[in-house]
């Protein structure tokens, strides 16, 4: 290769080297600096030897990242030639020269001489240095983290115990046993495993806090209220059904809108039918056109809403179905083969997604029961704001406000607000109390025809009992502070 060609190659090699070096250092800085800074912030003082070992580990990690980036991306002669042709407009002269560099044919010798001659007129600065500002910004930020980790002192979290002026709280054996019974109830419930894990962890943390010496009654009340908040927040994170339904509500395909509406109403039969309804629009005449539309309005809509692809069974099933429909349509032009590929996944989604939606409602019912029991065990007023039951309705203030509607948990005996604004497919945006009867009727129909398992009946009765109680209080006047009841304590 000519000397000028090697100069261009050297410049491109340096370009890759710099990028790989910055990325490798960024990873090393973040790993070591983040570890040291975290340990200092939680109050752990490190011996200089341990700090040196952490830094060495971070640099080793960075070196591995550097090698993984630099060597695969190191420009070969052909890559250099291709870039020169593209950026200098040489009409593949350089690529031809590199490919036939070992050919002794007179024509190829003349071509090489012509290519070298043309390249010799081009200065190396004619090929711009490609650089990413994102990589530079990451290097600066991680470098700042690394520097900060060596500058900040170890944070002392030692609690200065003072004689409390508030009355002390003593955890008695009955209260401790009541919390342990709640933990047993959660573990034996039909709630999903992640929901059980979160709720049990919150109750165990509450017990641990209450056993600390010097706890006062106001602190106890704060611990319990925080546990109620954490229970609600935990279920909001576990349950993504409403978030997915709201993401799908932006579609213009009726089948997907039906899926969204059925998810919001927890209509198991309707949701199964809505998913299978996709077959109707993926007919033999238009499946290659409709497949990408479904993928855009289902899979890409969930992705745009920030729904994790592996977080829950609902998300996994719908992402898998959307992606398979799109992929198969792109690679299979025969309708029969297309349907044979997607039908098993479609059938599985139509079975599993409705089941998971019902399981999420069970999560909410279990959480509501636990929170209600905590209020009664510790004889405190329910928190004024408990937040939405689904993570998809929070506003910037962190509560459940929609316009003039406060929503969420009420005060006194008003267990649950009834003025939350929700999206109903048939009615549009309405107050929850306006459609609650329809939703309950749907659930009861599922129970009557055997679709809903027997063990869910008590949880559903309890959940809707709370809702009907608060609605009656809203409509008859909150001055009484008494939830409505039909005489059996459930409100159903």
Going by C-beta distance under 8 Å and a sequence separation of 6 or more, which residues neighbour residue 115? 90, 93, 94, 96, 97
Cα–Cα distance measured from residue 58 to residue 64, given in angstroms and rounded to the nearest whole number: 10
Kindly tell me the sign of the dihedral angle through the C-alpha atoms of 353, 358, 364, 366.
negative
At 226, the pLDDT band (50, 70, 90 cuts) reads very high
Kindly tell me if the per-residue pLDDT of 486 is higher than 60: no
Q: Is 88 exposed, middle or buried (0-12, 13-18, 19+ CB in 10 A)?
A: middle
Kindly tell me if the per-residue pLDDT of 473 is higher than 60: no
**What is the predicted pLDDT for the residue at 411?**
38
pLDDT tens digit sequence for 298-345 = 888 788 778 777 667 788 888 888 888 888 878 877 878 887 888 888
Going by C-beta distance under 8 Å and a sequence separation of 6 or more, which residues neighbour residue 9? 1, 75, 77, 80
At 444, the pLDDT band (50, 70, 90 cuts) reads low
Strand partners, 431: 421
407: left (phi over 0), alpha (psi -120 to 50) or beta: left
Kindly tell me if the per-residue pLDDT of 471 is higher than 60: no
Span 376-399, mean pLDDT? 55
Span 126-140, mean pLDDT? 79
* Neighbour count for residue 188 (Cβ, 10 Å): 9
More confidently predicted of 211 and 136 = 211
Residue 261 tokens, joined? 């509406």
Cα–Cα distance measured from residue 401 to residue 404, given in angstroms and rounded to the nearest whole number: 7
Strand partners, 450: none
Helix (H, G, I), strand (E, B) or coil at 90: coil
At 448, the pLDDT band (50, 70, 90 cuts) reads low
Cα–Cα distance measured from residue 71 to residue 20, given in angstroms and rounded to the nearest whole number: 9
**What are the φ/ψ torsions at residue 428 (nearest 5 degrees)?**
85, -150
Strand partners, 421: 431
Least confident interval from 50-54, 167-171, 217-221, 303-307: 303-307
Kindly tell me the sign of the dihedral angle through the C-alpha atoms of 14, 19, 22, 24.
negative
Cα–Cα distance measured from residue 309 to residue 322, given in angstroms and rounded to the nearest whole number: 11
More confidently predicted of 222 and 423 = 222
Cα–Cα–Cα angle for 229, 231, 237, nearest 5°? 105
Cα–Cα distance measured from residue 232 to residue 242, given in angstroms and rounded to the nearest whole number: 15
Counted residue by residue, the chain has a size of 492
Kindly tell me if the per-residue pLDDT of 470 is higher than 90: no
**What is the predicted pLDDT for the residue at 467?**
64
**What is the predicted pLDDT for the residue at 203?**
93
Kindly tell me if the per-residue pLDDT of 476 is higher than 60: no
The position carrying tokens 């749907």 is 442
Please choose, from the candidates 449, 471, 422, 468, the residue with its C-alpha nearest in 3D space to the C-alpha of residue 241.
Answer: 422
Cα–Cα distance measured from residue 109 to residue 116, given in angstroms and rounded to the nearest whole number: 11
**What is the predicted pLDDT for the residue at 332?**
74
Span 56-71, mean pLDDT? 87
Span 106-132, mean pLDDT? 75
- 487-492 long-range contacts (CB < 8 A, ≥24 apart) are 489/465, 490/461, 490/462, 490/464, 490/465, 491/464, 491/465, 491/466, 491/467, 492/440, 492/461, 492/464, 492/465, 492/468
Helix (H, G, I), strand (E, B) or coil at 404: coil
**What are the φ/ψ torsions at residue 235 (nearest 5 degrees)?**
-70, -35
More confidently predicted of 418 and 360 = 360
pTM (two decimals): 0.43
Looking at mean pLDDT, say which of 157-161, 231-235, 433-437 comes out highest.
231-235
> Taking each helix axis from N to C terminus, what angle separates 217-238 and 193-210, rounded to the nearest 10 degrees?
170
> What's the chain's average pLDDT?
76
Domain boundaries in the chain? 3-151, 241-360, 383-492
Residue 103 tokens, joined? 């050919």
Residue 27 tokens, joined? 């990873």
Looking at mean pLDDT, say which of 5-19, 74-88, 196-210 comes out highest.
196-210
**What is the predicted pLDDT for the residue at 419?**
58
At 425, the pLDDT band (50, 70, 90 cuts) reads low
Span 431-444, mean pLDDT? 70
Q: What does each C-alpha distance from 453 to 33, 77, 265, 267 come to in angstroms?
A: 52, 67, 18, 14
Cα–Cα distance measured from residue 118 to residue 316, given in angstroms and rounded to the nearest whole number: 56
At 427, the pLDDT band (50, 70, 90 cuts) reads low
């Amino acid at each position: 290769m000519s000397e000028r060609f090697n100069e261009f190659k050297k410049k491109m090699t340096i370009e890759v080297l710099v990028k790989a070096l910055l990325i490798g250092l960024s990873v090393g800085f973040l790993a070591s600096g983040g570890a040291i800074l975290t340990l200092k912030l939680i109050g752990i003082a490190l011996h200089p030897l341990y700090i040196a070992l952490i830094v060495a580990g971070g640099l080793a990690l960075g070196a591995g990242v550097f090698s993984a980036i630099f060597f695969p991306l190191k420009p070969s002669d052909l890559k250099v030639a291709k870039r020169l042709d593209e950026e200098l407009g040489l009409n593949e002269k350089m690529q031809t020269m590199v490919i036939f560099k070992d050919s002794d044919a007179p024509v190829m010798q003349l071509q090489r001489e012509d290519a070298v001659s043309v390249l010799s007129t081009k200065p190396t600065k004619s090929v711009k240095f490609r650089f990413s500002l994102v990589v530079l910004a990451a290097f600066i930020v991680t470098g700042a983290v690394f520097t900060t980790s060596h500058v900040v002192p170890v944070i002392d979290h030692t609690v200065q115990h003072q004689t409390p002026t508030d009355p002390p709280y003593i955890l008695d054996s009955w209260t401790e046993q009541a919390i342990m019974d709640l933990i047993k109830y959660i573990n034996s419930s039909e709630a999903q495993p992640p929901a059980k894990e979160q709720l049990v962890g919150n109750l165990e943390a509450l017990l641990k806090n209450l056993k600390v010496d010097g706890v006062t009654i106001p602190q106890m009340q704060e611990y319990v209220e925080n546990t109620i908040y954490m229970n609600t927040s935990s279920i909001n994170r576990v349950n993504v059904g409403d978030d997915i339904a709201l993401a799908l509500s932006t579609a213009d395909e009726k089948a997907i809108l039906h899926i969204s509406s059925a998810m919001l109403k927890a209509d198991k039969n309707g949701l199964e039918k809505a998913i299978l309804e996709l077959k109707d629009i993926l007919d033999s005449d238009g499946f290659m056109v409709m497949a990408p539309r479904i993928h855009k309005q289902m899979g890409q809509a969930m992705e745009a809403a920030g729904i994790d692809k592996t977080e829950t069974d609902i998300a996994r099933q719908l992402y898998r179905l959307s992606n398979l429909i799109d992929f198969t349509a792109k690679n299979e032009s025969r309708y029969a083969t297309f349907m044979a590929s997607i039908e098993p996944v479609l059938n599985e989604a139509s079975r599993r997604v409705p089941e998971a939606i019902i399981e999420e409602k069970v999560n909410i019912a279990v959480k509501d029961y636990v929170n209600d029991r905590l209020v009664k065990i510790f004889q405190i007023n329910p928190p004024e704001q408990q937040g939405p039951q689904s993570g998809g309705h929070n506003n910037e203030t962190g509560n459940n406000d929609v316009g003039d509607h406060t929503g969420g948990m009420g005060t006194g005996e008003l267990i649950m607000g009834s003025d939350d604004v929700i999206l109903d497919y048939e009615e549009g945006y309405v107050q929850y109390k306006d459609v609650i009867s329809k939703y309950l009727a749907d659930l009861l129909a599922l129970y009557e025809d055997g679709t809903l398992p027997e063990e869910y009946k008590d949880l559903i009765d309890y959940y809707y009992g709370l809702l009907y109680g608060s609605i009656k209080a809203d409509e008859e006047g909150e001055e009484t502070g008494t939830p409505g009841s039909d005489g059996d304590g459930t409100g159903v």
